């Protein structure tokens, strides 16, 4: 989950790398560092954020046209200066940056210690670079060959970029399980964990595949696989606007991304849905819709917010398409022996498309004969490439660590999938099909309307910024929304929050209700409305404080709840796309009022590319 940036070419490397690291800080912000070739191979690194690194660089001679940089999310070794990347080899001739985990580092380290190697950090990364040095010294081979041989021996996930003091115009990169993209410019090359640091300079990129090794030497790029066979990398154009990765006047990326949801949901629908003509086509699934409509079972694998989107999809697929759906944590799915058969479909959901547990779940399901469909946001990421087919969410870059527009984009795509399958299967009446398309087209404007309640939600947040606990309750389609609302609050405000099905409150959580307990109900007009009203009464009878998300025009719940936030009426299956918006804003404003860093919450990183 660390961020990698490297450059070789005609530009000054240091400012380019530092700017790139800032764009990758969502991937980790425990420490940062940079290595440059300027009168020798020099490393500068510092615990903290990139701005802390910049402070120690002030006044340093940084002129260089080649360099590597890193922003860290700690795995092996606590966050401090000595564990920050880059790391030197013992000889001081090699410097490395690394994203991932080397699982067999301990055994390798023991062998190296016996040979006299001394380690300056607690990281697996320093073991990796010294292992490469040891191979090179023992065999007399070129560095790229030493890296290739090391790739055959190390176990785990990695994306690495290596500099060699003896070859000042060379960068070597390798990848297995962790993302690495190469930007191709005019006589210059950029390496990064994703395209955001690159797009300012070139939109031509190569996505390095697993077990591939890239070497840039004297302005020329070659790519080989781990068996030393020359590859012909595919150069593709990235459709990403520079302004999409800037704050655009908002105080935080998270707030910007919350307010981008009318557009991001519209982008998920564009070209796919036309209610007037009764048109619904997901191009990436065109060849699989009929097969999916005949499936006996769908398994959804995901983590975090994507798992919540999968839970919403479970309700929609089962209701509309009458297909059995199971939603699994990818991290649990991969460590048991799941019953997967040929004919089963596995839908893998991931914003980044690089989530390590989800990738592993895909490989396990594929080995058992399942058909894999990916739902991802990042074009060219690992999960889309590992899937048989799928659909992109087209939400645009999401920089805030806590997902907001990714959730609504995923639910939008999954809803379209369910409607398309139900229509093909014949379980959806034509009138309902048309109504769903009609209402889907109007979701962006309904989100826009809810965003106008911004000031009211801010006022409610002011009342609860000092709360120590929250409970979120919902039923049916809104139960996953309750889980997502609770996750958002604890992620960015550090307030303990739990989500439950509203009916489960009586089976334990009701013991927590008192006059200091805020309880958020998603209490919209749907098939569970009367039941939720009863649950609200149970909370009020115990002096709990009720914040209710209600349908416009509701006359009953406002007489019972302490605070209400209205959302427009819509088809029950589409409510999660809108009911989640006030919960995102509530979490955001509470976190800001508590002085929290909402874009970079403690201990978290955006893309979980390691276990």
Give the residue numbers annotated as catalytic, written as ranges. Answer: 2, 606
Q: Tokens 């984009």 belong to which residue?
A: 409
Strand partners, 36: 42, 67
Classified as helix, coil or strand, 283 is helix
- Provide the token pair at 567: 């959302």
Q: Angle 597-599-603 (CA atoms, 0-180°, nearest 5)?
A: 70
Three-state secondary structure readout of 457-522: HHHHHHHHCCCCEEEEEECHHHHHHHHHHHHHHHHHHCCEEEEEEHHHHHHCHHHHCCCCCEEEEE
* Beta strands at 66-72 and 3-8: parallel, antiparallel or unpaired: antiparallel
Q: Where are the alpha helices (DSSP H) in 405-453?
A: 405-425, 430-451
Q: Which residues make Cβ contacts (< 8 Å) with residue 369, sequence separation at least 6?
A: 340, 341, 342, 343, 344
CA within 13 Å, CB half, 487: 20
Q: Tokens 């309880």 belong to which residue?
A: 519
H or E segment and range at residue 50: helix 50-57
Nearest to 359 by CA among 159, 608, 125, 101: 608
User: How many whole angstroms separate alpha carbon 395 and alpha carbon 294?
Assistant: 30
User: How many whole angstroms separate alpha carbon 343 and alpha carbon 341?
Assistant: 6
Q: Where are the alpha helices (DSSP H) in 237-374?
A: 253-259, 261-269, 289-293, 304-316, 330-333, 356-367
């Amino acid at each position: 989950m660390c961020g990698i940036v490297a450059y070789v070419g005609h530009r000054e490397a240091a400012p380019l790398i530092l700017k790139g690291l800032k764009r990758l800080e969502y991937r980790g912000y425990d420490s940062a560092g940079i290595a440059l070739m300027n009168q020798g191979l020099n490393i500068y690194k510092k615990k903290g954020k990139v701005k802390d690194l910049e402070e120690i660089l002030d006044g340093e001679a940084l002129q260089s046209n080649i360099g590597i940089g890193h922003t860290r999310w700690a795995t092996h070794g606590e966050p401090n200066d000595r564990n920050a990347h880059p790391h030197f080899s013992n000889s001081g001739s090699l410097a490395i940056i690394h994203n991932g985990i080397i699982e067999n580092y301990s055994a390798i380290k023991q062998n190296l210690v016996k040979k006299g190697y001394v380690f300056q950090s607690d990281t697996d990364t320093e073991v990796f670079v010294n292992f490469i040095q040891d191979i090179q010294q023992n065999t007399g081979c070129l560095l790229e060959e030493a890296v290739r041989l090391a790739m055959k021996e190390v176990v785990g996930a990695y994306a690495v970029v290596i500099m060699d003091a003896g070859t000042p115009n060379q960068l070597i990169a390798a990848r297995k399980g962790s993302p690495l993209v190469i930007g191709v410019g005019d006589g210059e090359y950029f390496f990064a964990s994703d395209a955001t640091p690159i797009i300012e300079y070139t939109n031509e990129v190569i996505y390095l595949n697993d077990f591939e090794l890239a070497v840039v030497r004297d302005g020329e790029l070659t790519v080989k696989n781990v068996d030393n066979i020359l590859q012909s990398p595919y150069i593709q154009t990235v459709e990403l606007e520079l302004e999409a990765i800037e704050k655009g006047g908002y105080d935080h990326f998270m707030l910007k991304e919350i307010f981008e949801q009318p557009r991001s949901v519209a982008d998920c629908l564009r070209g796919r849905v036309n209610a007037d003509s009764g048109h619904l086509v997901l191009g990436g699934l065109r060849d699989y819709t009929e097969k999916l409509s005949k499936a006996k079972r769908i398994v959804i694998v995901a983590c975090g917010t994507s798992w919540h989107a999968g839970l919403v999809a479970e309700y929609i697929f089962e209701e509309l398409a009458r297909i059995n759906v199971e939603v699994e944590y990818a991290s649990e799915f991969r460590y048991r022996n799941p019953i997967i058969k040929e004919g089963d479909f596995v839908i893998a959901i991931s914003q980044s498309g690089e989530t390590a547990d989800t990738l592993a779940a895909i490989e396990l399901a594929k080995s058992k004969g399942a058909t894999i469909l990916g739902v991802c946001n990042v074009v060219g990421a690992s999960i889309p490439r590992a899937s048989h087919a799928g659909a992109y969410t087209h939400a645009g870059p999401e920089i805030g660590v806590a997902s907001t527009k990714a959730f609504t984009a995923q639910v939008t795509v999954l809803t379209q999938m369910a409607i398309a399958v139900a229509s093909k299967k014949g379980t959806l009446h034509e009138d309902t099909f048309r109504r769903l398309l009609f209402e889907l087209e109007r979701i962006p404007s309904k989100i826009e309307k809810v965003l106008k309640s911004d000031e009211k939600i801010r006022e409610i947040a002011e009342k609860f910024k000092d709360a120590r606990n929250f409970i979120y309750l919902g039923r049916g389609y809104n139960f996953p929304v309750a889980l997502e609302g609770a996750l958002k609050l604890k992620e960015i405000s550090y307030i303990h929050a739990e989500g439950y099905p509203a009916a489960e409150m009586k089976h334990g959580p009701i013991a927590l209700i008192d006059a200091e307990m805020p309880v958020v109900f998603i209490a919209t007009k749907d098939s569970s409305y009367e039941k939720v009203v009863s649950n609200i009464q149970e909370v009020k009878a115990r002096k709990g404080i009720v914040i209710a998300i209600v349908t416009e025009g509701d006359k009953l719940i406002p007489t019972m709840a302490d605070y209400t936030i209205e959302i427009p009426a819509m088809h029950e299956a589409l409510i999660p796309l809108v009911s989640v918006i006030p919960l995102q804003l509530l979490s955001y404003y509470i976190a800001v009022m508590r002085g929290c860093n909402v874009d970079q919450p403690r201990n978290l990183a955006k893309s979980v590319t390691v276990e």
